[in-house]
A and B are shown apart, each in its own frame.
Chain A
Amino acid sequence: MTELFTIAASTDGGGLALGITEGGNWFLRNVWLIPLLPALSFVGILFFGKRMPRGGSELGVAALGIAFLLAVVTGAAWVDHRDDYHGEEVHRAVVVHDAHADAHADAHADAHGHPSLAVHRTATWFQTNGVEFTIGTLVDGPAVMMLLVVTLVSLLVHVYSTDYVHGDRRYTHFFAFLSLFSASMLLLVVSENTLQLLCAWELVGVCSFVLIGHWWEEKPNSDAALKAFLTNRVGDMGLLVGVTVLFFAVGSALPDRFGSFSIAETNALASSGALSHTTLLIASCCLMAAVMSKSGQFFLHTWLPDAMAGPTPVSALIHAATMVVAGVFMIARMYGVFFEGFQIGGSSINLMAFIGGLTTIVGACLAFVQRDIKKVLAYSTISQLGYMVMALGVGAWTAAMFHLFTHAFFKACLFLGSGSVSHAVHSFDMKSDMGGLRKHMPHTYRTFMIGTVALAGLPPLAGFWSKDEILVGTGGWGLLGGTGGNGAYTLMLGMGMLTAALTAAYMTRCVYLTFFGEFRGHGQPHESGPRITVPLWILAGLAVVAGFVNLPKGFQMAPGSLQERFGHFVEPVAGYFPAISHGTPSWSLAVVSTLVVVGGIAASGWYYFVKVEAASKVAGTSLTELPDGPTTKYPLARMGHTLLANKYYLDHLYNEVVVDGTKGPVARFAYRINQQVIDRTVDLVGETAVKAGVVVYEKVDQLVVDGAVNASGSASSATGEELRKINSGKVQSYAAILFAAATVLAGVLIVIV
């Protein structure tokens, strides 16, 4: 601390380059309009929705439509800003490690042309004890990218929902919270400081809770909502602690400030080396807990599959495309902190990469044993989120953001497709109610297939490019010239490859069970209406083309001006952001990863399309698995299946060991306290009060109060009795009294005057 002060004093006011600007395009400075629109729509729907002809949904669709247009304009403004803006950069008058910060910033700027100045705008929220808390927007590449993704997916989900939840008993309520969710998520992505981010983070959590429990009359749904909420609370504690630690850490590095929530300042100070490594490690670990709960990382992922109890559009919007990536986005936003805290620049395995890698495999394995189509997709989401976190953990920031971008489209497409299927067959169970749907639902089938291929990662669909970039980013591919920028994470490369194969295999299974074979359900399934299929086709189209925005550097089939466009516009090159190094893409890795995917599809396809199909022909019905499959033949396979079917016993661990273990003793202790301390005190107070009451009643009430009332009553009664004698009714006696009184008064007057 003292050391920091002396350094700060010795660098005569040299400023720390934050890489932000207060100027810039109108749309970039007024980006707060975008979250405001759905927020207004929430209020509008809540108060007037029921009276509107379409139950308030038109308000939500309109608000999101305008917000999407604004986001597009903002995106265009950002593209312009990134390349041509040379405005004033904001410096803070602090600094610390003299030459390091400047050299860092310069190296940065040189490497990528001129820096990308984030557009920063704040207003004072409240002030207390000399500390100012601000609210504002920090618009940079990842924020603009998220604005586009969230508004687009949200708009499509709104349109889709007008058909999907049509006639629902809480239709208006549903749209109100869909709007509130969009507003909160948009607020989260443009947050300028961690306190605002925390508030938005909690708001999206609440919306998630409300929407999972949309059909709360059924017990499993409200249980799932509670589980999601409570699991997220565990992580939110981490976020709260992490944010607080960073607040004070930044305050200790800034000589004239008590603390700061500013994301730009925190990142810049962390990158400049002004904050101690231990502090950053603690903060990173706390924030990591928040990421684990919100983004469904192993071992706090258990809420996400249960969250599928909510309506399917909610699953698509919140539990696949947007809210669950909030954790990933938060890491990306606070990357300076994580980069230094976990020392991502070195090639040692860190917590983030390890958890991400583990989650990606754990989630993919669980997807194999699900009967419920949405749960397959939920575990797939967990697995893909693990991919992103792993990518961030190995330093492949751009690859992670790119995967977030492409994943949002194809996973939303898959989820909405599963919703369309369930709309037709009134069930989510693939084994008992689906099969053979490709003939009945051609649009859903085609879009689902596109989503599946994109998720599996076959070229040239979106998933291939982003997955490949992550694999390159691990730097583990030493063969034939593909090296990563941050050292070799060979283990992560292996995990990524394995997951690629598993993903391809379980999606093949899912597609077979849903769309191939013979229909096993009841009734006649029919294709959904245009309000469902049009969003599906839009998302499927994006799942095809989204990958082309970030063609790898040095890709021979595209001109140089089309390579790494996404990275160029999204990746911040600024003082508040650590220098990201990029792996060198290699053909050999792309070919091998594609072969791995093809291998996964082939293995799973051989089992389902050849063996099961043949067995179905023999049995005469549409089977979903071999009657004498490996789980019946080999004990080891059966044990593995049991382990997966019980979800690694994690729910048992939480419910029976953790919850029951705590609940019993705590409850007994609380009971004892209750009986012996609280109850006794309450009893004593009660008895004393009764005694006091009796005394008061007998002495004060009966004697004093009642006595006074009775006395005044009888006194007036007696007076009245006397006075009624005068009231004879005879006019002349009244006149006599009048004259007598006048005479007396006259006499008095004479005497006095």
Chain B
Amino acid sequence: MLLNQFLLLSAVLFAIGVYGVLARRNGVLVLMSIELILNAVNLNLVAFGAFRETVGGEVFALFVIAVAAAEVGVGLAMVLLLYRNRRSIDLTQIDQLRG
């Protein structure tokens, strides 16, 4: 089995996700980029699981999906509240915690 292709695809996904998190100003898009990062990790987990012929990888991936669903739920709720309060979801403008 060719592991490298999966890992390369995963790395690309991860890099795109990181880019999205750091570069996008829209809160919803940042959340989506986080999903990309998580799915890159899931891909890795499933690939390694298949490579080593254990079920552990899939189990971990399932956990990550469940947690990610919860995380997106909380994240979208936050974005919604942000929008209601400020009429904007631009993350660069939210800097009240500046020291």
A residues in contact (CB < 8 Å) with B = 723-724, 726-732, 735-736, 739
Contact = CB atoms under 8 A, between A and B. Distances in A.
A736 B18 CA distance: 9
A182 to B, nearest CB: 81
A739 B33 CA distance: 14
Contacts of B22: 732, 735-736, 739
Contacts of B99: 723-724, 726-729
Contact of B95 (A730, A735, A736): A730
B96 A729 contact: yes
A732 B95 contact: no
Interface of B: 18, 21-22, 30, 91-92, 94-99
Contacts of B91: 730-732
A177 B22 CA distance: 90
A716 to B, nearest CB: 15
A729 B95 contact: yes
A732 B92 contact: yes
A332 to B, nearest CB: 95
Contacts of B92: 730, 732
B6 to A, nearest CB: 19
Given A726-B99, A728-B95, A739-B18, 7 more contacts: A728-B99, A729-B98, A729-B99, A730-B94, A730-B95, A730-B98, A731-B91
A730 B21 CA distance: 12
Contact of A729 (B18, B21, B30, B97): B97
A728 B98 contact: yes
A201 B17 CA distance: 100
Contacts of A728: 95, 98-99
Nearest to B93: A730
A727 B96 CA distance: 11
Nearest to A725: B99
The 6 closest A-B pairs by CB, nearest first: A729-B98, A727-B99, A729-B95, A724-B99, A729-B97, A730-B95
Contacts of B96: 729
Contacts of A726: 99
Contacts of B98: 727-730
16 contacts: A723-B99, A727-B98, A728-B95, A728-B98, A728-B99, A729-B95, A729-B96, A730-B92, A730-B94, A731-B91, A731-B94, A732-B91, A732-B92, A736-B22, A739-B21, A739-B22
B41 to A, nearest CB: 13
A658 to B, nearest CB: 87
B85 to A, nearest CB: 16
B17 to A, nearest CB: 10
Nearest to A723: B99
A725 to B, nearest CB: 8
Nearest to B97: A729
Among A728, A732, A735, max chain B CB count under 10 A is at A732
Contacts of A735: 21-22
A731 B95 CA distance: 8
B93 to A, nearest CB: 9
